[in-house]
Structure 1
């Protein structure tokens, strides 16, 4: 099985639908590595701990993390299932970026950036990352978010383990089309 395929499957079961594999996530999103591997192997996926470690380490966006003794694994962010990542609010830079598709622009400029089925809106510290995110959804557009102003107005920001900026909602008044 290719690393990319394993990563996509891990995203599905660790972020959105653990029941597809028959695993459970604790309140912080962790699941036992041995149980995960056992269930994957029962489904015909030839993945052992070494292969799983390789996927976690080499994932370009660092989507997954092990606990200290590598007995548990979780997705770093992007969950649509309710979990508590234990993130502490931090002060964001003055400007962050959001990558999206051209097709979403009218709605965003009118209604803001909404988390939809996820727990948070995802923002990037640089334009290049935002472009890559936007490309996944169609013709990319990069929006500039005045995160410093948002923070001063009382909006909270979090920085995930894999350096994705998270917030609950971005009002249209804080968005500029790059």
Structure 2
């Protein structure tokens, strides 16, 4: 069985190649972000990440953020969200909860207060259904701050929301009028 350290190392590399730089592993993603599991395993091995199918399955199923998903036949794999490369994840518009949360670091607040939440190099702004998840996300970048998003009012005002396979809420932009510091 692989160590937790090795699991994390592989997970981080999978995040890189399935979300941002498939060329780093010599793979391609189709228009919906999928790649063949067999080809992925072969290319991982060529790049210093010798991973068996069972080990890949362990990384996918134990990832605390459920960042990766197999197709129904387990022949293809993709990242659930967070891409900076052009893919269409084909998520349907979803009705969000009344409020959603965004975790950030205190250092980013002045920028957010000016422009709202921007997707930047990603396809969407990422939001959480609970404040604890948002707090954990914010902690990755410094002193955490949780912002409350008035998703119900945004929806009434015509903004669209999607929910990823791993229950991350996605939207194009959150203007400052819909944000409040928790």
- Match status 1:22 vs 2:22: no
What is the TM-score of this pair, normalised by structure 1?
0.99
Runs of 4+ aligned structure 1 residues displaced above 3 Å come to none
From 152, 155, 167, the equivalent of 2:159 is 155
Instruction: Map 1:19-168; keep pairs closer than 5 Å.
Output: 19-168=23-172
For these two proteins, the number of residue pairs brought into alignment is 178
Paired residue secondary structure (2:87): coil
Q: Which runs of 5+ in 1 are unaligned?
A: none
Distance in 2 between residues matched to 1:120 and 1:49, nearest whole Å: 31
Paired residue secondary structure (1:141): strand
Distance in 2 between residues matched to 1:91 and 1:41, nearest whole Å: 41
Distance in 1 between residues matched to 2:110 and 2:177, nearest whole Å: 14
Q: Which runs of 5+ in 2 are unaligned?
A: none
RMSD of Structure 2 on Structure 1 (CA) = 0.7
What is the TM-score of this pair, normalised by structure 2?
0.96
CA contact (8 A) 2:41 2:50 kept: no
Q: CA deviation at 1:51?
A: 0.2
Q: Deviations over 1:86-143 (max 9, x none)?
A: 1000111110000000001011011100000000000000000000000011110000
